Structure 1
Amino acid sequence: MIQFFNCFEVPAGQEDEFFRLWTEVNHYMVTKPGYVSHQLHRSVDADARYRFLNHGVWRSAEHWRAAHDQGFRALVSRPEWAAFTSTPGLYDVVHEGSVDPVPALG
């Protein structure tokens, strides 16, 4: 599995437009071979440089690359995306940890 992270700069007041555009691209990407899952995170800090972080999991870097085809490029090259810059990258997991679930208070 390969981890994909994409940090988005979203100007204040344009969150809804960003989410609408991101949703269109996401609907396209989830149909691609090798797609596993995704999460879109929003910063709790309104002043954060990167207001949104997309985390996707793909079966391989090759699947991820193949998914970024002509259809993808047509979606993200639309003028509406100009306001939203991003910093994407592929990553391998090098360490993972977790804790036991917290027991319910009775």
Structure 2
Amino acid sequence: MVEVKGLDSAAPFEAQLQETTGPVVLINVFRVPEGTMDETMAKWREDAEFMKAQPGYISAQLHKGTGDSQLLANIAVWESTEHLVKAFSDPEFQAKHDGWPEGTVIYPHLFEKVAVSGICLD
């Protein structure tokens, strides 16, 4: 069973999902149990294929820590929090949620793009 932990106590993930906003960027860091990287990546792919078919999905990219790191980072873009919540709440997705390797810990958090003059657009 996967364990979910927060990154920011001032904005727990569950509270973020209640916000009406978008587009949103889900950054989800995974601490993968040693020896389960291939199994974890296969599970991520299964979940990502489901999410890719959902309304409001824009994109996803998986990143792996360098060297001997046991971290993965999923960066997924959604049209809105409403779309993300609907996809997460889908009974089919929830039924598959327990397939992660024992000891996997995830740290999900939602972000919005920010404009910084002369550097990047929102």
TM-score of the superposed pair, with normalisation by structure 1: 0.80
Q: How many residues align?
A: 95
1:91 aligns with 2:111: yes
Amino acid at match of 1:30: K
Q: Report sequence identity in percent.
A: 32
| Structure 1: runs of 5 or more not aligned | 99-106
Amino acid at match of 2:53: T
Q: Which has the larger radius of gyration?
A: 1
The answer for the alignment partner of 1:9 in structure 2 is 31
| Structure 2: runs of 5 or more not aligned | 1-22
Root mean square deviation, CA, Å: 1.7
Counterpart Cα distance in 1 of 2:34 and 2:108: 21
Output one character per residue of 1:52-89: Cα deviation in whole Å (capped at 9) or x when no partner: 000000001110110012111111123x4433110111
TM-score of the superposed pair, with normalisation by structure 2: 0.70
Structure 1 stretches of at least 4 aligned residues deviating more than 6 Å after TM superposition: none
Counterpart Cα distance in 2 of 1:17 and 1:88: 20
